[in-house]
Structure 1
């Protein structure tokens, strides 16, 4: 693999907004001579002054030496014109997201820089192939997609268009790594890795809200406290801005010719129509005025502790699927009794039984549907947990046929184990389970279509959007058979192509394989 660009070599950054300034800050700190250019000279001066202040703060916090900061600042110089970038070995563009603007810029640069200079674009959504198409040497144009804020976010998507040379992509990859980033290779397809694979995180939450599963504060709490996500989907969309988030979803959907998996939400369209764009407008799913109270997530009232609990399973492999929850119940003082059904009994999936309630991990069906299929009315389902031992909250849903007595026993069981119990309406797949299944499905499709490797997609989602676990690693952990069952049941329940199972998931399952070494 080619080496990283040497320290001391000139890296040029075009565009001095938040992204461009962040890239310049990181490149200068990594030892490069940096030339920062913008059509607004005052913007360049402000960016360099702000970077100097940032270096000073890092020195105060002990994260950077004083001499190191001074040298980094000295390496950062303004460029009066594009001609001042002639000696650059790498030019990174961070200007407005407009294809014509980017093409014009790179066309001008091609007449200025040396033939050996690599041209990189920080685009988050525009085809690398399209940007490079008019160039005399399109093989040297690479996507170098940083995430905001650049100095703090580790991920860099290194994106190759159809004409991009492997050598250019490898040099950019190695250079990003030498800057302390975690680069991943990707093929130029709509959304690249992160903006494609992340769509279900928003889409499934919006559908849950549309179907009345719970209010935004409750769904956000479940995704944070049960799924381990740093921010819930509604608070995250409010932070991003609904105009931006909706536009990205719409562009990805259009790029994939209306694939149902990327269909925008009418709920989010209404927010955009109303001007309720989130934090920046003062109102989105939440209100952001000084006197606005944050709504509390739903929590069930305390219920009596059940006197006993059983766990039913047929094989040790199935038992392993519920073992973490069994251990937590034992730690709470329950004597969990194992029950094996007789050979002639109706098959009993792995689950817990107390006070008349049969309690199962969601498999993508509603509790009501499961109750009808089994003939057992008192059915309750619970949502996926990232860490069963440490989770503070659990989400439950009850079948419409379920008695109050059985529901009370199920709630009391989990409360006695230290959970705050949140009730979701009986929607297919609940919240965390259906979201993780869809994230894994989209990640598997990206791998299947040659966009990136399994390792790259998991790194991208952990480092680019701070997911607690890579989607494919999560699928391995939950069990590919269970993920496929969830998706299949969602597809059957909704009758939509949106939930079709990735061929790669089915292939891995059929082979008894995993995405990552176990």
Structure 2
């Protein structure tokens, strides 16, 4: 279910669910929070727990929280009193017989949940919806033993439930669509943001968010001298995240965060994208779990504060001249340095190019361009960032980073020196988040709008990853991922076919000018589509043969680059069948027919919307290298 970014998942008018009686089983933190949300929204809410007195204690705790909220002026006293009046502790499953919805929030154990759902199914009406607050178990597995599996869905709240806006409405393969509609209506009426997703490992948030934590720990593993606080500071001060990933895992608990990551990894067949971090595993093994144990990535004892990230000392008066590359124009403008149209040497002073990473290391950029370069990490908003990561290429004069620090000091931006690695910190994190989100959409986990909503409201990210990826440019994202893959070719940094296809189209300016759009892409196959316009035509008013070749070649590029390999075209042998004319919508589809070592043979068909053939093409390609980072258009 895909929705615009400013709207939650669509459903009905909510009238059917307005008077529902809600049951909640499990009076722990999550269960009590869910019960509070339901009661606050006007529902009679019954709370059950297996432990004697636990439900009554939970109701008392809710009452205490609401009383303190009233005292602070955050909650109306009458509303608080009415909420508590609607909450009722009960003593047995039989007491939930009259509920329209029962939400279980018990221990994450499939056997325990199976037993509870079977007991509930035996007493509630056939129309009662049974929902699970599971964060890791399959809804399909939960529903499988029941006579009516269509009534079962996931209703995954985030902690603390009364405050966190997102709720993942998880549909199993057997879940009745009407149940999903009712739950979306109900969640929205509760003042939450519902997103609909399939019952896949990690659902949306726990799946797509894994790179945020995983890449931070991998940076520490790859660069033992890198201060953890530099990673967190840059992701806050340059990336716009409310907390850095390492400090956030200390807050969550290293054991909890690692367990969620490992469950997603195992449930996806040990997909390397979600592979556990040895650095985090070592923290868990040592019992340094974060705030709850007094130590984790950072110390958390009495009086402990988050360490301050080391920054580069400013060295004014170096006489260094800067040539801002267009990719660094935002920060250069903030610092009062004009970005030139080209990269001309302004004089005889030592001159260094200032540019933002496209995935390549600073050394690789200098080697490719022949110019000393200070490479900046990505900043999400150049106008408001407080920090930026940077690394100097080998040919830079001594003190180049100090000169940069002096340049940016007046603009209120501090510089953190980074090791020269692909993607640096923020760019690496952003690209892997975008790639994970694109992969989730392609896999049918959720629609694009719901994925962005989930990450904004459930994970607190400053921008949905798909929206961020579109702003950064799909070619840029694919380039950073390719650079990471070239350094670590484990499959962790693979680019899904949809993202690869968008990247190819973005870089192919001729195809973009023709208005071609992506149909689909994957290793060994690819298709594009476009409507014939005046620019497609020759002097006889039919589609120019060269244009048909361009369309076919674009489909071929999608197909042969699906694995992220550097491939060059060998030849296109065209058989013309019929001319294309204005108003035709042409689709070019390439399919690999044979591969001999590095040589590929592809069949490409160009067809109209009615399926009739315009041309048949035989394409031949040759792979000349492994994955390589995509360059920005300015380097072309």
TM-score (norm 1): 0.91
Structure showing the higher helix proportion among its residues: 1
Residue of structure 1 in register with 2:474 after alignment: 480
Residue of structure 2 in register with 1:130 after alignment: 141
Please list every run of 5 or more consecutive structure 1 residues that lacks an aligned counterpart in the other structure: 314-318, 343-347
How big is the shift at 1:507? Answer: 2.5
Residue of structure 1 in register with 2:442 after alignment: 448
Q: Deviations over 1:337-396 (max 9, x none)?
A: 524269xxxxx9xxxx984222211111211222223333x2221111121101111110
Paired residue for 1:244, among 240, 243, 256?
A: 256
CA–CA distance in structure 1, aligned partners of residues 196 and 285 of structure 2: 37
Residue of structure 2 in register with 1:211 after alignment: 222
Q: Report the 3-state secondary structure (helix = DSSP H, G, I; strand = E; otherwise coil) of the residue aligned with 1:338.
A: coil
Please list every run of 5 or more consecutive structure 2 residues that lacks an aligned counterpart in the other structure: 1-10, 507-516, 519-636
Q: Report the 3-state secondary structure (helix = DSSP H, G, I; strand = E; otherwise coil) of the residue aligned with 1:109.
A: helix
1:106 aligns with 2:117: yes
Residue of structure 2 in register with 1:28 after alignment: 39
1:286 aligns with 2:286: no
1:176 aligns with 2:182: no
Contact 1:461-1:467 within 8 A present in 2 as well: yes
How big is the shift at 1:293? Answer: 5.3
1:365 aligns with 2:360: yes
Paired residue for 1:41, among 24, 46, 52?
A: 52
- In our comparison, the structure showing a higher alpha carbon Rg is 2
Higher relative contact order (CA 8 A, sep 6+): 1
CA–CA distance in structure 1, aligned partners of residues 449 and 111 of structure 2: 34
1:493 aligns with 2:487: yes
1:509 aligns with 2:520: no
Q: Deviations over 1:25-82 (max 9, x none)?
A: 0100000000000011311111101111222223233333222222211111011100
1:357-506 map, 5 Å: 357-376=352-371, 378-506=372-500
Residue of structure 2 in register with 1:81 after alignment: 92
Q: Deviations over 1:234-253 (max 9, x none)?
A: 11111111111111111111
More off after superposition, 217-226 vs 293-302: 293-302
Q: Deviations over 1:388-435 (max 9, x none)?
A: 101111110122443314333333322343211111111210111000
Paired residue for 2:331, among 317, 325, 335?
A: 325
Residue of structure 1 in register with 2:351 after alignment: 356
1:140-159 map, 5 Å: 140-159=151-170
CA–CA distance in structure 1, aligned partners of residues 482 and 429 of structure 2: 14
How big is the shift at 1:308? Answer: 7.5
1:155-234 map, 5 Å: 155-212=166-223, 214-234=226-246
More off after superposition, 435-444 vs 360-369: 360-369
Q: Report the 3-state secondary structure (helix = DSSP H, G, I; strand = E; otherwise coil) of the residue aligned with 2:259.
A: helix
Q: Report the 3-state secondary structure (helix = DSSP H, G, I; strand = E; otherwise coil) of the residue aligned with 1:167.
A: helix
Contact 1:328-1:389 within 8 A present in 2 as well: yes
1:46 to 1:182, Cα distance in 2 relative to 1, 3 A: same
More off after superposition, 11-20 vs 362-371: 362-371
Residue of structure 1 in register with 2:285 after alignment: 273
More off after superposition, 205-214 vs 26-35: 205-214
CA–CA distance in structure 1, aligned partners of residues 79 and 209 of structure 2: 37
1:447 to 1:86, Cα distance in 2 relative to 1, 3 A: same
1:309-348 map, 5 Å: 311=323, 319=326, 321-330=327-336, 334=337, 336=338, 338-340=340-342
CA–CA distance in structure 2, aligned partners of residues 489 and 340 of structure 1: 26
1:8 to 1:238, Cα distance in 2 relative to 1, 3 A: same
Q: Report the 3-state secondary structure (helix = DSSP H, G, I; strand = E; otherwise coil) of the residue aligned with 2:123.
A: coil
CA–CA distance in structure 1, aligned partners of residues 292 and 184 of structure 2: 34
Q: Report the 3-state secondary structure (helix = DSSP H, G, I; strand = E; otherwise coil) of the residue aligned with 2:335.
A: helix
C-alpha RMSD of matched pairs (Å)? 2.1
